[in-house]
């Protein structure tokens, strides 16, 4: 168990629908990252939050949004779903210890597998 | 921009063979960090190692070893005496160390199958 919790593990829905994926970071970690892993695209960085604020944005579609709450858990909202959104969505967290420099290790959750029919 | 290349899409070996997974990276920064992650069939990404650009010492951890060569911008991963449990997708990654998500770049992964 990595300490990063993602729910749900599996989700099947229809095109046009909206879903919410939830992530609880490892205790003490302030940064949360969202990644999309599809067969033909590899691991794509979507968005990062640090202590409640958006820090970095990657290839996130306008139909997708995310937020990080005061208790540091994060939610990724996917709307107007299309068949191509079917993928494994990962959340990762890190300490983000910028004070001492260095690249933080990202600790990943087990992922949420989304199937859009 | 940063880039990580893993030219081997899939590798199959027979148990007890040694196997090397290649990773070539591109960056103009002099300070950076390299990582390897393992994604077993269960799906979760597991951290294996982190290396910074100033430390070119090779590292060995049990059956795993890593060869970092700045001259060739490579950070290769060798599994000695492979086992069926080593079957997984292995990702090499590069970070600039600023802890911004877009600067943590993963390679496309290499799928390793270890046959009994």
Q: Which residues of B are less than 8 Å from A113 in CB distance?
A: 43
**Minimal C-alpha gap between B98 and chain A (Å):** 6
Determine the pLDDT at residue A16: 97
Determine the pLDDT at residue B96: 87
**Minimal C-alpha gap between B44 and chain A (Å):** 4
Where does residue B55 rank: exposed (0-12), middle (13-18), buried (19+ CB within 10 A)? exposed
Determine the pLDDT at residue B62: 93
Q: Is B48 part of the contact surface with chain A (CB cutoff 8 Å)?
A: no
> pLDDT category, B98, cuts 50, 70, 90?
confident
Q: Mean pLDDT across chain B, nearest whole number?
A: 93
Determine the pLDDT at residue A101: 55
% chain B with pLDDT above 90: 78
Average pLDDT, integer, range A76-94: 96
Q: Is B91 part of the contact surface with chain A (CB cutoff 8 Å)?
A: yes
Average pLDDT, integer, range B83-102: 91
Bigger pLDDT: A82 vs B102: A82
DSSP B43-105: ---EEEEEEETT----EEETTEEEEEEGGGTEEEEEESS--GGG-EEEEEEEE-SS--GGGEE
Determine the pLDDT at residue A85: 96
Asked whether the predicted pLDDT for residue B55 surpasses 90, the reply is no
Q: Output DSSP code: residue A105.
A: P
Q: Is B101 part of the contact surface with chain A (CB cutoff 8 Å)?
A: yes
Give A11-63 pLDDT, tens digit per residue: 999 999 999 999 999 998 999 999 999 976 789 999 999 999 999 999 899 99
Determine the pLDDT at residue A31: 92
> pLDDT category, A97, cuts 50, 70, 90?
low
Q: Is A3 part of the contact surface with chain B (CB cutoff 8 Å)?
A: no
- In total, the C-beta contacts within 8 angstroms joining chain A to chain B are 68
């Amino acid at each position: 168990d990595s300490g990063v919790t993602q729910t749900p593990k599996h989700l099947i829905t229809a095109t046009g629908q909206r879903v919410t994926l939830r992530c609880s970071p490892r205790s003490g970690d302030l940064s949360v990252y969202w990644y999309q892993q599809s067969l033909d695209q590899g691991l794509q960085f979507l968005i990062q939050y640090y202590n409640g604020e958006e820090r970095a944005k990657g290839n996130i579609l306008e139909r997708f949004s995310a937020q990080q709450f005061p208790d540091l858990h994060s939610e990724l909202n996917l709307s107007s779903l299309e068949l191509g959104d079917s993928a494994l969505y990962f959340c990762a967290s890190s300490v983000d210890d910028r004070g001492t420099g260095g690249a933080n290790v990202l600790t990943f959750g087990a992922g949420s597998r989304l199937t859009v029919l | 921009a940063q880039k990580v290349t893993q030219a081997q899409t899939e590798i199959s070996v027979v148990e007890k063979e040694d196997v090397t997974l290649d990773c070539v990276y591109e960056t103009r920064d002099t300070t950076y960090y390299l990582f390897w992650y393992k994604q077993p069939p269960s799906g979760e990404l597991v951290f294996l190692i982190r290396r910074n650009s100033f430390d070119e010492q090779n590292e060995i951890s049990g059956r795993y070893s890593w060869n970092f060569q700045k001259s060739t911008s490579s950070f290769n991963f060798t599994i000695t005496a492979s086992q069926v449990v080593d079957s997984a997708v292995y990702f090499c990654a590069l970070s600039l160390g600023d802890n911004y998500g877009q600067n943590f770049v993963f390679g496309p992964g290499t799928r390793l199958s270890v046959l009994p």
